[in-house]
Copies of this chain bind each other. A is one copy, B any other.
Amino acid sequence: MNFPSKLIEDAVTEISRLPGIGKKTALRLALHLLKQKESVSEDLANAILSLRKQIKYCHTCFNVSDSETCSICRSGRRDRTIICVVEDIPDVLAIENTSQFNGLYHVLGGIISPIQGIGPDDLKIEALISRIAGSEGEEKVSEIILALPATMEGDTTSFFITRRLKEFGVKVSTIARGIPIGGELEYTDEITLGRSILTRVNYSVD
């Protein structure tokens, strides 16, 4: 694509570096910004810069945060004896939005993937171990919920963490896998359906 202006070309190049945005979309976004007030572009540029330069990661759970300890780890209303282990930050947001979990989190920053060259040492697994080992009294961690992807890599990571946690006698659970709510059996893939039969749960009507 030839551009009539170096400024447009530069903007398109930079915007199209973002994942899922091609040259055509980038051009559309650039031309959109040109039609808006100058403050729109300024606010966007400043938000991107501040985000990248000022963001902090919680020293305890490695979630993004505006301070050294995130609002979840700081909160007095969360159950400090349960830790939910997730792959990355969006998973924390997704679980928070369900309002079904009131414990703390631990963000691994990825999952074990030999193909991508990610081993246990590249993740925050040791930090999780010391977090559990270091907890005591009323705040002693009693349960770890593994909320990792239902893939080979996710299962490997769950397996690795579970084995490392054996000596601490902490309860380890994993989120339920099965047919999604509202899902039709007929359209569910065989592996999910098969596993949901194997891992069936008791059902009682009082």
Listed in ascending order, the chain A residues whose CB lies under 8 Å from chain B are: 1-8, 10-11, 13-15, 17-20, 25, 27-34, 38, 40-55, 63-66, 70-72, 88-90, 92-93, 96-97
> Which B residue's beta carbon lies closest to that of A13?
B47
B10 x A51 contact (CB < 8 A): yes
> Which B residue's beta carbon lies closest to that of A55?
B7
| A24 to B2 Cα, complex, angstroms | 32
A45 x B49 contact (CB < 8 A): yes
Set B18, B45, B51: member contacting A46, Cβ < 8 A: B45
Residues of B within 8 A of A64 (CB): 4-5, 7-8, 34
B44 x A89 contact (CB < 8 A): no
Set B1, B17, B45, B65: member contacting A5, Cβ < 8 A: B65
Given A33-B48, A55-B8, A63-B4, also A19-B14 (CB < 8 A): no
Q: List 22 A-B contacts (CB under 8 A).
A: A1-B93, A2-B93, A2-B97, A4-B63, A4-B65, A4-B93, A4-B96, A6-B66, A7-B50, A8-B51, A8-B55, A10-B47, A11-B47, A14-B47, A15-B47, A28-B90, A30-B51, A34-B64, A41-B52, A42-B52, A44-B48, A45-B46
Rounded to whole Å, the gap between the CB of A112 and the closest CB of chain B is 18
| A3 to B8 Cα, complex, angstroms | 33
Rounded to whole Å, the gap between the CB of A44 and the closest CB of chain B is 5
- Inter-chain pairs besides A4-B96, A8-B55, A41-B52, 5 sampled, C-beta below 8 Å: A4-B93, A8-B51, A15-B44, A19-B32, A45-B46
Rounded to whole Å, the gap between the CB of A45 and the closest CB of chain B is 4
